[in-house]
């Protein structure tokens, strides 16, 4: 774990070494606020909770999280620092996990800085803070899922734009797999078991379940299993490209 910690510290500090991280956070917070209070018409709803805030997050994450993930490995390849990174006396798995955790922590910092919205809701009314806390946990887990997908795709190319676009598409497919439009398409010809399997991969299904205030073990297992799957694929891809 010391190897993971070393990579984590190196990568996390690198995010704040340039103004880019601060610009990203400002844009993230501005967009979240705009979608909550203006597009979501928070004040007109006269409901003191953050359901509007969290309802937009899966769609905003589709663009913000791949933007973080696209540089994880593509940038290393483009600048030629991949070889240097892989020659460090650190196991490959520790490097992959450390870089992922640093990106996840950075995403967590951006999410945590939305706390003024939480304060605003408590000032205006008496929301169920237990539900809000569960929703934040679900939001962080969902961001981790998007990030693991994006990191895996970033490992396949040295072009950040390609990594971003492909990540958005794949994350979108995972997001909408449980949507009525998708289910109706499969219902016309697929067996029920396949329909249930497709729906079970939907980020929306698991995230919205958590935002109801119930942290079901099945939803937690889903996100962590998906993260583990794509991190494993990330390790395999890096290893194959290193050998090749």
Tens-level pLDDT at each residue, the chain (244 residues): 788 998 899 889 988 888 888 999 999 999 998 888 888 777 777 777 788 899 899 999 999 999 999 888 877 777 767 767 777 778 888 989 999 999 999 999 999 999 988 988 888 878 888 889 999 999 999 999 999 999 999 988 888 899 999 999 999 988 888 776 777 766 776 677 766 777 778 888 889 889 888 888 989 999 999 999 999 999 999 888 765 5
**pLDDT, tens digit (0-9, with 9 covering 90-100), for 1-31:** 788 998 899 889 988 888 888 999 999 999 9
Cα angle 170, 175, 180 (rounded to 5 degrees) comes to 125
Q: How far apart are CA 179 and CA 42, in angstroms?
A: 25
Q: How far apart are CA 61 and CA 35, in angstroms?
A: 13
Q: So what's the pLDDT on residue 145?
A: 95
Closest by CA position to 10, among listed 121, 62, 84? 84
Q: How far apart are CA 72 and CA 183, in angstroms?
A: 34
CB 135 within 8 A of CB 211: yes
Count CB-CB contacts under 10 A for residue 220: 15
Number of domains in the chain: 1
Q: Which two tokens stand for residue 224?
A: 């962590």
Dihedrals phi, psi of 125, to nearest 5 degrees: -165, -160
Residue 48 exposure: Cα atoms within 13 Å on the Cβ side: 11
Q: How far apart are CA 100 and CA 50, in angstroms?
A: 28
Residue 129 lies in domain: 2-243
């Amino acid at each position: 774990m010391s190897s993971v910690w070393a990579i984590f510290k190196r990568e996390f500090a690198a995010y704040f070494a340039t103004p880019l991280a601060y610009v990203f956070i400002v844009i993230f917070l501005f967009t979240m606020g705009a979608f909550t209070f203006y597009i979501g018409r928070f004040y007109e709803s006269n409901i003191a909770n953050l359901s509007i805030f969290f309802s937009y997050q899966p769609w905003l994450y589709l663009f913000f999280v791949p933007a973080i993930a696209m540089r994880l490995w593509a940038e290393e390849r483009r600048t030629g620092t991949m070889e240097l990174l892989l020659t460090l006396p650190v196991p490959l798995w520790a490097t992959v996990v450390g870089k992922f955790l640093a990106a996840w922590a950075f995403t967590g910092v951006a999410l945590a800085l939305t706390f003024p919205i939480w304060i605003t809701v408590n000032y205006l009314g008496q929301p169920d803070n237990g539900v809000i806390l569960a929703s934040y946990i679900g939001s962080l887990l969902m961001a981790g899922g998007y990030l693991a997908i994006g990191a895996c795709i970033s490992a396949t190319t040295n072009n950040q734009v390609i990594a971003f676009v492909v990540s958005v598409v794949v994350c979108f497919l995972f997001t909408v797999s449980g949507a009525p439009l998708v289910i109706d398409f499969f219902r016309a010809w697929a067996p029920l078991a396949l329909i249930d399997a497709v729906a079970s991969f939907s980020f929306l299904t698991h995230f919205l379940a958590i935002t109801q205030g119930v942290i079901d073990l099945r939803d937690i297992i889903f996100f962590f299993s998906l993260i583990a799957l794509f991190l494993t694929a990330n390790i395999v891809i890096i290893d194959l490209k290193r050998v090749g």
